[in-house]
Amino acid sequence: MSKRRIEQTVNNFSLSSKSDQDIAVMLPKGYINDIGAERLERTSVQFLGNGLKKIVVNLLTCSL
């Protein structure tokens, strides 16, 4: 079963994520500043806490 969630932050940054079985995928959009980086870290920690060991961050649609 796949789970999907979308979280919004300021500065035109958004993060959508989904997980299926043992893999998590995060899809950030916009500019990643300190707030965006904290959101990525927090979401990663949540996935790891849920037992997921494989995490993919697709940076195709974001600015660093």
Domain ranges of the chain: 2-63
Q: List the one residue out of 56, 17, 20, 15 whose CA is nearest residue 36.
A: 15
Residues 6+ apart with CB under 8 A from 3: 18, 19, 20
Prediction pTM value: 0.79
Give the tens place of pLDDT for each residue, 10-50.
Answer: 568 899 999 998 999 999 999 998 889 999 999 999 999 99
Other beta carbons within 10 Å of 52:
16
CATH of domain 2-63: 3.30.750.24
